[in-house]
Chains A and B, each alone.
Chain A
């Protein structure tokens, strides 16, 4: 791996074997169960790479696991796209491998299609994107950007990863249960999910693990940001990325537990025969179900969306943070409206807790409550617009460097813009009545998350790769990756708006061929599916680039992008397990001091102690 190379670099005399704090007194710095502490200076392989308590290793573990899950979730979607484009035709090449229970003769069964749909959503959100933006980027860069030696609770951090891992394994294994994986949608609405196959129980168990993991992670990130900021790093000097992680962690901390409660209740419904979510007299297959009844399916929706709406901002805020870092760096000027962005992100986080029922306009909600939720929904669009506008104006007059991370960051702006603006009609009950549960909704949130958040993730990977490895990723491959992804993403999701406006339901197994109102738009299905397959091909340069650059990429110094934040003051591929900085950095100024008048270089890092230039 790349870590082995760090010694050749000779950038730091601070090699990995820095003496630890004196002797036996220094217990592993946590507050959890004390561990027999063998006073090893040389950590074993297990401690260093598997059960590591170093935030950088944990960040990489999160990142690699989540990228794998994301690829897996993407492949599930490709199977669905085949079925939508060519309903009833055998899946080529791998169709025979799916088993008779799922796809006899390679032709996908509706039950399997439902599993794919539910698990694609679950995997992408809970096992892919959130672990990437919070677990990987958050873990790796929060301590680095605030000048801390590690997270506040390193062992909790390790536990958070491994709990996530177990949750992921449970989700993955559920495909092999009798009846397959969960098949009631990623939202798991009862009563359908209450009477679903065994996969649903696995889903709930997996979710309990994933929620616990997020909880531990968010406690850690908040504590780290509040307690371990370097000297001089006041709140208003924190990079916007740190702010986004800060708000995000609060969302995870406070929004997830109600879903955990709901998960426990659904588990009780499924395993102990309770009726929390089971109405009286439910008829399934012509028979009235036994059981106490009297429960409320809507209760689940409330508890689920109490998490899942803030979750949207969990997906998008860190992405905005990454994009802000990349844009500031590549426009070579300070972010325009940094303070407004910070306040907007806090406001966004706050409001995100009281908008959730706009997912439930069609559940018979009365006009009073629906007016309330429509109002809050319109209000919450304001801070998003503030942030996006600030990022856009930041470009004005900059001498922009169009490198790969910047291309992804630039593409984020219009893509997220499309996603956000198409959300407005969904937040208003009258238009939502028509658009609810159609492909329009799918198009809307995929624009937010796929060309939005995932592009930001790519920007982050290209941008910070030199920090992980000491090498830069190939620019030409990166640009191929960018243009391919950009074009095909739009090919996949753009036509969904048209299908949705025509009223095509998002849950159809055959893409709508048997509905007359869908006839004008079903022909888009093949186009979208071809785009999806090509999108997979467009990822190949990235995968190759990623591994190739680890060994063969251009070697660079600690600060290849001439950036200002503290992460770039640390050694590239920082030594593992022994703190991040040769000497504890002290912060003198705000995060984005680019092109400071009177300073000979066009960037002035936060930790460089030059006297401030004459006030302008």
Chain B
């Protein structure tokens, strides 16, 4: 089967992919509770699921900050420099 066909199939089964995705998300957080921690540098290294939460917080911050900057300050029309 060629790559195009595989991709087509994946796109047509988006719902199943979504379910698998959520299952994986849950799994990697659950695993985190059972991982041995030999060597922790920061206090958050001890908290299971910290990096999942931090990932989401970072995502939100980046989106909010960049959208705000673009909307209120830095965005211009595409031919701004051509006038």
Q: Do A and B come from one complex?
A: no
Residues of chain A at the chain B interface (Cβ within 8 Å): none
Residues of chain B at the chain A interface (Cβ within 8 Å): none
